[in-house]
Structure 1
Amino acid sequence: MAVGLDDLQRDLGTLDRVVVAFSGGADSALLARVAHDTLGAGRVRVVTAVSPSLAEEQLADAEALATEWGLRWTTVSTTEMESAAYRVNDSDRCAHCKDALMEVLVPIAAADGATVLLGVNVDDLADHRPGQVAATARGARFPLADAGLTKADVRALSRSLGLRTWDKPAAACLASRVPYGTEVSVSVLSAVGSAEAALHLLGFADLRLRHYGDTARIEVPVERLGDVLDRREAVVEAVRSAGYGYVTLDLEGLRSGNLNLALKAD
């Protein structure tokens, strides 16, 4: 039995019905699949929140996964972009986003007599994640973390279960590419999403494009820095086609959540 699977199934088995927030990433995919297999399709609803901060590629793959696995899937629109507190993009941005998510998930769960579940793992608990506090306050539970699963455990367990998401690159919301203090807007998120999609087509699946006005900072794993330079012209063209005037490469490589370093500096 893979590490953590017993505990995860045991925890899920104590619940009657659940609503899983489903982005299609490795964490939420594992949670949705194990919940589906443990409780049965009729007791599990998976919901993908759609907003300008969700990349089109992610939405398409979430739908594909739901179809492949026979999940009871639906989408809902969230309205965080209507909130000035969210758009101002301070250190509590994630809390406003999760608040908007719970605003739509709680009524769905209430109608089903269900519990809202989020794909939060143990590693997530160590970073600056005010969204988790906001979600907990609205009644959400984190079964992966409760089962003691780290990100590495999630990937190992997913692989042992034959889930194609086991090695899917992490893909936080597009707003996470915008430094704190820079206003989040639909046009900014669209530019980031378009540039990343174009870079994906060039073969760079695992990356972040950080937005600094008309300057884009590309982060890829250190071992792929040379590949970016080898395809320099195509990379520059792909990013400029999204509206950026300057294209830079971060020599420190891909660092998930590195914009949170600015908070620690303060």
Structure 2
Amino acid sequence: MEINKKLDNLKSRLLELESVAIAYSGGVDSNFLLKVAKDTLGDKVIAVTLHAMMHSDREIEEAINYAKEFQVKHIVVNIDNFKVEKFIENNSDRCYHCKREVFNTVKGVANKHNIKYVLDGTNLDDLGDFRPGLKALEELNIISPLKECKLTKEDIRNLSKQMNLNTYNKPAFACLATRIPYGTKITKDLLKKIEKSEEYLVSIGFNQFRVRVHNDIARIEVGKDEIHKFFNEDLLNKTHKKLKEIGFKYVTLDMAGYEMGSMNK
């Protein structure tokens, strides 16, 4: 009953807004929000995806395909040179400066299409992590209806499953910069090495993972239910060889397993 009430509240909130542009990554939260918005507001919804150096090509392709399924107008803005110096410097407020740039761009697209409000997929659980980007959303008057309607990640996954969305069990995914420790300068080359390494983990069947970077060391985190896959000498050797080919000098496996936001510690 409670989860359905939250969904009703979300639909009512969307109707109040009348027309919306959704900052769309194709992840669990934004995909759910886009589907509910499309069902509620019809053609008064657009999806806006930014493709910059910190975004995986695979994630962008998935977002494009999902938006097509919903028959939503989808605008992909390519930013080949993401020249936000405070992002490149990668201090602890990196996400704040990135979000300001990204959402100013989304607001510009919304204005061009006569859309009143810009929405994002922040949910209630996101408030429990270190997220300096939330301050930027507040400053830019970005609306987070999932958070407003007290929808948790579990709620969103359960409702997504009821709605037959492919993303209901999609692993959590964050921008590639989250794999780099604060204080280490972000470069396109480093982000590409991370992306290639994680694409390799996908290709050998891993579901939830991160490749964290510490200078010339790649530290692989995988879900605790998947660590046992590495208890195989052949897989260890292949993974070591592959990541060294990609450009890392040392390759390690984190025995504590995957942990969301572990770099924030």
TM-score range, shorter chain: over 0.9
Between the aligned partners of 1:90 and 1:250, the Cα distance in structure 2 is 24
Aligned residue among 223, 226, 248 for 2:225:
223
Task: Report % sequence identity.
Answer: 36
1:1-266 mapped onto 2 (5 Å cutoff):
2-3=3-4, 4-40=6-42, 42-78=43-79, 81-111=82-112, 112-230=114-232, 231-261=235-265
Partner of 1:264: none
Between the aligned partners of 1:78 and 1:95, the Cα distance in structure 2 is 18
Task: Give deviations 1:200-227, integer Å, cap 9, x for gaps.
Answer: 1010121000011211000011121110
Between the aligned partners of 1:227 and 1:14, the Cα distance in structure 2 is 49
Task: Give deviations 1:177-207, integer Å, cap 9, x for gaps.
Answer: 0011111111110100010001110101210
CA deviation after TM superposition for structure 1 residue 228, in Å: 2.1
The TM-score, its normalising length taken from structure 2, stands at 0.94
Report the RMSD for the aligned CA atoms in angstroms.
Answer: 1.4
CA deviation after TM superposition for structure 1 residue 245, in Å: 1.4
Aligned length: 260
Task: Give deviations 1:44-89, integer Å, cap 9, x for gaps.
Answer: 0001111010001101101111112211111013478312211110
CA contact (8 A) 2:26 2:62 kept: yes
Task: Give deviations 1:119-170, integer Å, cap 9, x for gaps.
Answer: 0001111211111110221110101111111111111111111101000001
SS in 2 for 1:27: helix
Between the aligned partners of 1:195 and 1:124, the Cα distance in structure 2 is 26
Task: Give deviations 1:79-103, integer Å, cap 9, x for gaps.
Answer: 7831221111011100111011112
Gaps of 5+ in 2: none
SS in 1 for 2:102: helix
CA contact (8 A) 1:78 1:100 kept: no
SS in 1 for 2:67: helix
Between the aligned partners of 1:91 and 1:78, the Cα distance in structure 2 is 23
The TM-score, its normalising length taken from structure 1, stands at 0.94
What amino acid is aligned across from residue 31 of structure 1 in structure 2? Answer: L
Between the aligned partners of 1:89 and 1:171, the Cα distance in structure 2 is 19
SS in 1 for 2:37: helix
